Structure formats: C-alpha cells, structure tokens
Amino acid sequence: MDTVAQLVILTLAAGTPLVFAALGELVTEKAGVLNLGVEGMMLVGAVVAFIVASTSGSPWLGVAAGMAAGAVVSMIFAVVALSLMANQVATGLALSLFGIGLSAFVGLDFVSVVIEGIKPLAIRGLSDLPVVGQLLFGHNPLVYLSFVLFAAVQAFLYRSRAGLVLRAVGESPQSAHAIGYPVIAIRYAAVFFGGACSGLAGAYLSVAYTPLWVEGMVAGRGWIALALVVFATWKPWRVLAGAYLFGGVTLAQFQAQASGSAIPAQYLSMLPYLATIVVLAVISRDTVTIRLNAPASLGKPFHPAG
Amino acid sequence: MTLPRTPVSDTVSDTGPRLALSGITKAYPSVVANDAIDLDVAAGEIHAVLGENGAGKSTLMKVIYGVVKPDAGTILWEGKPVSIANPARARRLGIGMVFQHFSLFETLTVAENIALSLDRERAGGDLPARIREVSARYGLPLDPDRHVLSMSVGERQRVEIVRCLLQDPRLLIMDEPTSVLTPQAVEKLFETLRRLSDEGCSILYISHKLDEIRALCTRATVLRGGKVTGACDPRRESSASLARMMIGGDLPRPQHRAAKLGEARLVVDGLTLAADDPFGTSLSDLHLTVHAGEIVGIAGVSGNGQKELMAALSGERTVDSPGAVRLMGTPAGRLDAEERRALGLAFVPEERLGRGAVPEMSLAENALLTAHRQDLVRNGFVRTDAVRGFAAETIAQFNVKAGGPDAAARSLSGGNLQKFIVGREIRQAPKLMIAAQPTWGVDVGAAAQIRQALIDLRDAGVAVLVVSEELDELFEICDRLAVIAQGRLADARPTRDTNAEEIGLLMAGSFIAAGTESGRRLSPAGAVDV
C-alpha cells in the first residue's frame, strides 16, 4: 500500500508545475491573450528562484522572487503585444527564446550549487499515519498551494463578477469596451497573473521538485502547459486532469527505464508528452464545448478606437 | 420603474429638455463627423435622428453614451451641464443604448450579459427574477439562463432592451433597431417603445427607414455631412420630403421593365446540407429555379441558413449529389468555386472584407482574383497593365470613389468597396449572378446604384439571385420572392402577388409544418420570433 501512496505523491509532484503554468495561461487566454512565452517565463522564474534561494538561504523567498520574476517578464510581453499591438504569437515566441537565453546566462554561476529545497510536509503524528497519512499530509507544501490555486481560479472565473468581466473581455473586447470595461487594463492583469503563475511553476521545479539549477531544466513543460490549456478546452478541471496524466506517465516511464526496458530511453521520454496530447485531443473533439469555452478573441489585438 | 408619468407631447416640459446638446463637434483625421450639432430631447419624447450612412448619427450617439469624447460642445442633462466620460457614467445618469451591432457576449448567458452592464448593486441577488419580471411586463419574453449564441437576432435584441430597462433609463438610444427584424417583430418593438415613452422615458431613434420614423416618432432631426440640416415633425412629412432632407435631392427610382424569361440557369433540386458549425443551420430539401432575365430574391432573417445556402451555391462547400445544384444546365454539386465560375457564375459574398476582397491587397490585385479569365493572365504570367486597366475601368464605370487601382481594398468605404466588387463581377459578363446582402451597410446613394446595376444585368438577360434581409429592397428589385426560414425554403412567388405581411409570416416559419424542426441542431439559432 505504501507504494501506491508513493506513486500518487510522485504523480502529483510531477504534474504540479504544469498545473501552475497551465492555470496561469488559462486565465491569460480567457482574457483573449495568447502568451506563448510560458516556457521562457518558467525558466526565468526557475533561475531567479534558485539564485535568491541559494544566496538568501530561504527557499520560500526564492519562490516569491521566482513569481515576481515571471510576472516582470510577462510585462515585457504585455507592453509589446497589448499596448503596441504587436502580433501576439510572434511576441510570445520571442519571449520564450529570450527567457531561455536569459536564464542560461544568469544561471551560469549557479549550475553546480547545492541548496536546501522545500521539503514535503512531515507533520508529527499525522504524516506517519498508515497510507492516509502520506496521501493527505505527505506532499510538498507547493502541491497544496496548487490545489488552492485551482480552487481559486475555478471560483474566480465562474463565481465572481471580476471573472465574468474577464471572460467577457476574452469573448468580445469590442463589446466589453462599448459597455465601459477597461479592456487593455484587464488584459494586462491577466497577463501579469499568467506570468506570476509561470514563475511559480519554474520556482517549484528549481527549489522544490529538484532543488538545483540546470540550463533548460523546464524541458518543454511550458509548451505542454500551453497545449494543455487548448486541449482542456479552457476548463480548469480538465487542465488539472491533463497535468496529472502527464505526471503519471512521466513516472511510469521512469520506472520502465529503471527496470531496464528494451524500449530505447528516448522513446520512453517522449511518452508523457505523447500520451497527454493524444488523450486530451480525443476528449476535446466536442465542437460545442470548444465554442462555449474558447475565448473568441484569442490572439487578436484590440484597438480601443472611438 | 419609478418614473413620473409625463404626458406625451411635442412641447418641452417645465423642467426644460431632458437632454440638450449644443455645438457638439468631433473631428477624425480625414473627416469632421459632427460639426457644431445642436439637439434637444424632451421628456417622454420619441425623437428620430435621420441621416445617411456617414452623416454622423452614430458618432453623435456615441458622444451621448460616452464612448466618444467630443472635441467641443456642451451637454446639458436635465438642465445641468455634464461631461460623459464613459458609458458607465452615462448609465449612472440614466442613459441606455441598444447598439446596431449587438454588444452581447455569445458564450455567456442572458443573466451574465445583463449583469455585466449593471453596476454592482443592481447586478446582485435576484437578478434572474428581475429579468423575468421586467421582460414579462414589457412583453419581451426571455429565459435568463439561456446562452446568447443559441438565440435568434430578435431575441438578442430583447436582451439588449431588457438590459437597458433594468437600469431604469430616462433616455434610451436605439441605433437602427429594426434592421434585423421581421415586420411583425418591428410592430411589437414599437408597442414597447410607445409604452416606455408613455412612462416618461425619452427615446432617441436612429434610422434611415423613413416609414418607421413617420409611424413612430414625434420629432426628427436630420443630419447630413455631420451638420444638422433640418428638424421636422415626421408625422406631417411624406417619405419623399424626408428623403430630400436626408440626401439633399431626390432618390433615383430604379427602372423596372417586364421580365423576358429565358432558360433556367440555376436549379436547386433537393439540396440538403448539414451545418458545418455547431451553431449553424442545416439546409433541408431546398428547391429553387432562377431563369435568365429575372431577379429572384430570398428573404429571411439572418441565421436561417442563408450562409450555408450561399456556400453551397458558390462552391465553397460541395454537396455529394451533383444534381442538387445545376448551373447553366450542368450538374455542379461537386464542382468547386473556380469550376463553377468557369461555367459563368458570378458571386458577391456577404462579407466584403475577407471574402469579397482581400483587405490588404490593392483593387487591381483584388480584381485579378476573380477576373483572371478576362485575358488578364497569359502563360501563367499576370499581365500587370491589363489588370490595372481592368480595375481602373471598373472604378470609372461604377463610380467607385477610390485612390485608383493601387489603393488597398481596406482604404475604401463600405459602399465604394461594394460597388467595386459588384462591378468586378458584372464586368466578367456572367450568365448567373448571385449576390448576398448586396447593399448591407451601404449608404442610400450607393445602394440605389447597386440595385440599378442588378436590374440592368437582368434586362441584359442574366439570371440574378439576391439574398437580403431588407424587405424593401427585395420588393423593389425582384420579380419573384422566396423565403428561407430554419434551413427550409418556401416556394418563390411573384413579387406583385404578395406583400410584406405575407413574407413576414413566411420569414417566421409559417410554412413549416409543426414538429419538423430537423433543420435545427442543438439550438434554434435561426428561429424567428414574431
């Protein structure tokens, strides 16, 4: 039974960076903005979190710094794509490339540094309970934070007035403008939130999941997060499911590699990416769901012309 | 609504006008949209603002609703000077607006849409109940939980109106509200408006439909070229005298000779086509024949299958049965757009930018796109001079106001681009011309010219099919009229044997037997309400 609990814990741990990044991107896209810079923002978040954690000695300070860094980088995107109305796809791709390069450069001196990362909870008494103890109380604190984020995003989008306004802006910025909502300001806020979430996802990787810095350590998870949002048809719970599916298959292929499978390791490494895309592509074929949930103005610049 | 009941009258009440504009001026880089406009609206009055497209009506309404900031001028609201910085401020003052192009969010529900335009206090709590109550009181039935995208245009307009009513407006601005309604729905709307006016709400009614203004409004202000050119009591004017004030001259009447019928050029025989988009309309078993030398019109409220029918006729969508669409006698169901054009089909789509013309390309390049068969291409090479010549001749022949053959399509006004597109198609000497909404959003002068061009085409022995939402237009130019509703087509009948009332009932689907709603999927996106 302990192995089952261990598997669940590892699956959630592997899926958590995708949950953070994809939920952030989901909110951004719900406002009608397509920010393809997730991979870059995650890397910047990861490297800044690691540097701050190792120099200050506080991993939590590192997490905060990583979030801030992701948000700051996203503001570059916001200025270029929202205020200057550049093409969002090109700007987002450029941001990713920029983030990859910047993080590699800034992190050069920290490649072999060892830090004390954020450890899974160990609550005396509770975490030692058989099976449930580990399942309920044995996760990394940031994993619990991802649950909170999921609930908050779900409630914000579908229960709050502000979330309604955000969805309205993503559906038709012209109409939202006509009834008097500040479209550009709302989109800035959405991009900012997405950036902070990407930074948090990166920070989780570098100070909690594997407390070290390696160039390019995000390893395409930013792109997977982007794909998750689309294939999850912009529904938060599907994002969650997709992220854990990815985590589970990642884990399974590690096990297969460790047990000396005959399949070449490269193919096994592809598996989580393939499985996630295929499963989500199959469940997202319903065009009605897509029409009802996809932000209609996604990726289109908005000119508040009078 | 807690408004004092004020009697409807032409006189301004003791407190002065509810809204008084003086010297409103708004200039854009290329045009002065509003030039020192004065306007006042009394309490409980239905006041028409009349003018052609581009006369400045919409800009003026946007100034009142706080969407556009005027360069100069003052606004008095109930006697006090105000500056209306944004729509939220306008709503707080008690100004509501129903937009020409609906400002609704399709994927949200009715209640969510309405909540978005109310302030926090009014949007809270029992909003769905209040929506039901207000909609019942004014005879505008609405289900607060329905998604807007499953609603017909008439229902959408109800949402817009109910949304305004929930703000307890003291001035309601209606921008071309009837352009998408059946005649019966228009009558219903007028009842609601008269009732509101009886309760003391002022209404600013923007339209270019003169009969409606004469039937509804007690005062009219006429705009032309951004200036006020007249004020009158429309009930004492004739449509002709209002038109003269509006365009500064008489409207050209189209010449219409008796039809000389030739052979059948378009035969639609049992066309059935599933919608390719979940909120589209499926076509079921359509039959229609258009002969050489006649104009056949298809009336209907948009969203009833016009889009799908046009795609099936133009070749953008093919059908499995080749004989379902026959062009010039050739079974063409499986031919693509290019092959159908080679048979002599010309097609003017509904969307000018994007389907009728590529916005970024020059007029010459846009001409080449469909007219390349006119000896504009030799051995695979474009004859640039011939292409520019073709475009220049089209511009001259159809009075297109443009910078020349090299002007980008998007730099033209809607009416001028439409004249160019229609001209481009006509100059290819088609055997069959299909035009969707040929005068939609085109000013009165250009619309008259386009209609005349279609009539000339018919007189020259071409078969013409026109799909339009404008009943007046169809009655003016068509020899026979068919009606599309819920993806079905009522048989075409001679225009002189029918009337607007009969066509209106057909548009509402009266010819469809109860229980046969297979033309709809998921939702009655094309349903019409009377």
Asked if residue B358 has pLDDT above 50, the reply is yes
Nearest to A292 among B107, B120, B123 (CB): B107
**Neighbouring C-beta atoms of residue A205, cutoff 10 Å:** 29
Range of lowest pLDDT (A180-194, B285-299, B515-529): B515-529
Residue-averaged pLDDT of chain A: 90
Interface confidence (ipTM) of the complex: 0.80
Q: How far is it, in rounded angstroms, from Cα B482 to Cα A80?
A: 51
Distance (Å, whole) CA B98 – CA A215: 56
Paired tokens of B507: 């548009």
| pLDDT per residue as tens digits for the range B7-55 | 444 444 456 889 999 999 998 776 788 899 999 999 999 999 988 766 7
Better-predicted residue by pLDDT, B141 or B328: B328
Is the residue at A254 inside a domain?
yes
Between CA B393 and CA B399 the distance in angstroms is 10
Are B200 and B229 members of one domain?
yes
Residue A126 has pLDDT above 60, yes or no: yes
Residues 6+ positions from B121 with CB-CB distance below 8 Å: none
Provide the domain limits for residue A285.
Answer: 2-293
Mean pLDDT check: name the lowest of A90-99, B147-156, B159-168: B147-156
Q: Is residue A303 a part of any domain in this protein?
A: no
Same domain, B177 and B211: yes
- Nearest Cβ partner for B279 among A164, A291, A293: A291
Q: What is the pLDDT of residues B382-424, one digit of tens each?
A: 999 999 999 999 999 988 888 889 988 888 877 788 899 999 9
Q: How far apart are CA B209 and CA B433, in angstroms?
A: 27
In a domain, A302, yes or no: no
**CATH code for position A33:** 1.10.3470
C-alpha span between B203 and A197 (Å, rounded):
49
User: How many whole angstroms separate alpha carbon A199 and alpha carbon A192?
Assistant: 10
Which of B404, B383, B382, B408 lies closest to B394 in space, CA to CA?
Answer: B404
Residue B333 lies in a domain: yes
Q: Which of B198, B213, B247 marks a domain boundary? A: B247
Q: Which of B224, B247, B270 is the last residue of a domain?
A: B247
Q: Are residues B404 and B257 in the same domain?
A: no
Partner residue opposite A292 with nearest CB, options B112, B117, B147 = B147
Instruction: List phi, psi (to 5°) of B173.
Output: -100, 125
Model confidence pTM above 0.80: no
Does residue B34 belong to any structural domain of this protein?
Answer: no
- A149 within domain boundaries: yes
* Both structure tokens of A1: 């039974």
Separation in Å, CA B35 to CA B21, B32, B57, B74:
12, 6, 11, 13
Question: Does the residue B99 lie in any domain?
Answer: yes
Instruction: Extract the tokens encoding B271.
Output: 């066309």
Domain end (from B427, B446, B473): B427
Residues of chain B that touch chain A, judged by Cβ-Cβ distance less than 8 Å: 62, 66-69, 86-88, 91, 99, 102-108, 112, 115-117, 120, 123, 147, 149, 277-279, 522
Range A61-80 average pLDDT: 97
Q: Do B106 and A167 count as a contact with CB atoms less than 8 A apart?
A: no
B415/B325 same-domain check: no
Q: Does residue A143 fall inside a structural domain?
A: yes
pLDDT at A89: 94
- The interface residues of chain A toward chain B in range 153-172, judged by CB-CB distance below 8 A, are 161, 164-165, 167-168, 171-172
| Nearest-neighbour CA in chain A from B210: distance (Å) | 28
* Tokens of residue B238, six digits: 């004739």
Q: Is B70 contained in some domain?
A: no
Structural domains counted in chain A = 1
- Put simply, whether A289 touches B (Cβ < 8 Å) is no
The structure tokens listed for B382 are 């474009």
Co-location of B326 and B452 in the same domain: yes
Is the residue at B81 inside a domain?
no
How near does any CA of chain A get to the CA of B386, in Å?
36
Say yes or no: B458 and B336 in one domain.
yes
Same domain for B446 and B306?
A: yes
Residue B140 inside a domain? The answer is yes
CB atoms near residue B497 (< 10 Å): 9
Distances (CA, A) of A152 to A32, A164, A296: 20, 14, 23
Q: What is the pLDDT of residue B254?
A: 60
Domain hosting residue B386, numbered range: 358-427
pLDDT, residue A185, reads 96
Residue B278 binned pLDDT confidence (cut-offs 50, 70, 90) = low
Domains contained in chain B, number: 3
Task: Please tell me which of the candidates A168, A288, A306 has its beta carbon nearest to residue B108.
Answer: A168
pLDDT value at B1 more than 50: no
Q: How far is CA A128 from CA A118, A139, A141, A143, B350, in A?
A: 19, 13, 16, 19, 70
Residue A1 has pLDDT above 70, yes or no: no
pLDDT: is B315 or B30 the higher one? Answer: B315
CB contact under 8 A, A179 and B277: no
In a domain, A306, yes or no: no
Pairing of strands B19-27, B72-77: antiparallel
Based on the fold, state whether residues B199 and B219 are members of the same structural domain. Answer: yes
pLDDT at residue number B253: 61
Question: What's the CATH number where B138 sits?
Answer: 3.40.50.300
DSSP state of B220: E
What's the average model confidence in pLDDT over B490-514? 85
Residue A301 lies in a domain: no
Residues of chain A with Cβ-Cβ distance to B99 below 8 Å are 178
Find the DSSP H helices in B166-230: 183-198, 210-216
Cβ-in-10-Å burial (0-12, 13-18, 19+) of B1 comes to middle
Residues B453 and B383 grouped into a single domain: no
- Residues B303 and B365 reside in one and the same domain: no
Selecting from B91, B102, B278 the residue whose C-beta is nearest the C-beta of A288 gives B278
Per-residue confidence at B524, pLDDT binned at 50, 70, 90?
very low
Please check whether residues B293 and B442 belong to one and the same domain: yes
Of residues A122 and B46, the one with the higher pLDDT is B46
> Using the beta-carbon criterion (under 8 Å), do B117 and A165 form an inter-chain contact?
no
Same domain, B95 and B193: yes
Helix (H) or strand (E) holding B414: helix B414-426
Q: How confident is the model at residue B517 (pLDDT cuts 50, 70, 90)?
A: very low
Does the pLDDT of residue B449 top 70, yes or no? yes
Q: State whether B106 and A293 contact (CB < 8 Å).
A: no
pLDDT digits (tens, 9 = 90+) for B228-261: 988 889 888 887 788 788 877 666 666 667 778 8
B277–A171 C-beta distance less than 8 A: no
Say if A258 is an interface residue toward chain B (CB within 8 Å). Answer: no
Return the pLDDT at B510: 84
Residues of B in contact with A172 (CB under 8 A): 103-106
